[in-house]
Structure 1
């Protein structure tokens, strides 16, 4: 099998990465996509960097060595902002994060030059979005906010309550009063419900879905590298490490995802990759 027929791998801690699966399916319908979700270690955003590299290295090893992925997307703001450089140095397979594509899209869309990033605690602490955006355009003001409780609500499908709607509406009013006009869903859990944000924001804000921006750049990369799959048949797989209850509930809300069977993560196989990952990483120390 040629490398252009090999799958695209997607990694995230929970349901948020489904936003990337949906975006890839819309732009690259002929590609095989394998999404490895890791609720066993959810949430990634509250973990120490070394621990996170250790966890994710085993998943990248599995996709790279066992499934022969031609490209891996870290569909997670935390991984993309904290571990991408280290992971790229450890593996030869191309690894793409969500930070650069979302940052470029935000710079294109903002009119006031003021951008909000909603993300996990680890992503906000890293200031990666701010660094990338200001590298593109130094005069843009970036406000980064961590909403860890809301990430958990989205993971459990509990975000569409009146209380959460009111709370978000209040936050958006505050952003508007400060003249911000563009919001990046800096966590793919938020990207998955970007239409929910858009409904509340109405026309006041540009909502940047990093999954869509990243999928577009993946398509351009594959075309430039002659790695597009020529087949008209596509296959989508969801492999869950840990409890799949939230994943099963979430995919029922998306017609295009309902036909995908959820597979259990092959723990016996992964033991080999965990051992390899242990050689890559040092023990976790102080939490981020």
Structure 2
């Protein structure tokens, strides 16, 4: 058990967006070693067939377990969670977490008028995973879903604010404002980078739900219940950032992302596990 406690936590995403989940895990579990894998070779996952996304996720999880010896894995990607979570939980014997259920529970509890908005990638929105989870908890709630693919591109380019971001947000979000929603789920791990602009466009009366925070809480609780928390408050965890294609990580993102994530360093190393 002691060796299990010392093992790292693995996180995966299609690119750099999932670092918003990593940031919340860093905060709640500062003593834990974290290995982050961004599948930049295949980004974005959103428009891709969900069976193909499931294959990518399985490959990464096997790599994290066999090569990096992780004790738990967070699918820090909404499309990846939609496509693969239930299957991965069946075939692997370590805890596997996704980013949907905790956010849905939070949104349902926050909504006063039973009108919930969801923004995400095409894959996440079209999968119906969020919608189904919401209806399972509150069948009378209305869900207004909108895919926002350009948000992903803006974040990957390191564009978190400015006129281009503002106009794109107004285009995507205006129909949701008109629908009168009072809660909006940031259903893509890239979107918390744009929180300030999204909040401005939606207005103060609309509450934003960040799935990254909710899944980080879920991970911490699970590790505590299973005696897997590394209780060494005097020691800060080590963080390793890997990608499958380093050429697709923009320098602009590295500059702005480091500040957003409050990291002294944000250095990615390439490990293309898909060669074979």
- TM-score, normalised relative to structure 2: 0.91
Structure 1 partner of 2:20 = 19
Structure 1 partner of 2:126 = 125
- How far is the alpha carbon of 1:253 from its aligned partner? 2.6
1:39-98 deviations in Å (ceiling 9; x for gaps) = 110001111122212222111011111111111011111011121122222222221100
Structure 2 partner of 1:283 = none
RMSD: 1.9
Matched residue SS, 2:118: strand
- How far is the alpha carbon of 1:183 from its aligned partner? 0.5
1:230-270 deviations in Å (ceiling 9; x for gaps) = 123211111111025325344333363232432221x4xx3
Structure 2 partner of 1:108 = 109
Matches of 2:91 and 2:256, distance apart in 1: 33
Equivalent residues of 2:156, 2:249 under 8 A apart = no
Establish whether residue 254 from structure 1 lines up as the match of residue 260 from structure 2: yes
Structure 2 partner of 1:263 = 269
- How far is the alpha carbon of 1:116 from its aligned partner? 0.6
Instruction: Detail structure 1 runs of 4+ shifted over 6 Å in the superposition.
Output: none
- How far is the alpha carbon of 1:38 from its aligned partner? 1.1
Matched residue SS, 2:260: coil
Structure 2 partner of 1:198 = 199
- TM-score, normalised relative to structure 1: 0.87
Matches of 2:81 and 2:157, distance apart in 1: 23
Mapping 1:151-230, distance limit 5 Å: 151-169=152-170, 171-230=172-231
- How far is the alpha carbon of 1:200 from its aligned partner? 3.5
Contiguous gaps of at least 5 residues in structure 1: 276-288
Matches of 2:44 and 2:248, distance apart in 1: 14
C-alpha distance 255-23 of structure 1, shift in aligned 2 (>3 A): closer
- How far is the alpha carbon of 1:120 from its aligned partner? 0.7
Matches of 1:26 and 1:212, distance apart in 2: 10
Q: How many residues are paired up?
A: 270
Matches of 2:111 and 2:77, distance apart in 1: 23
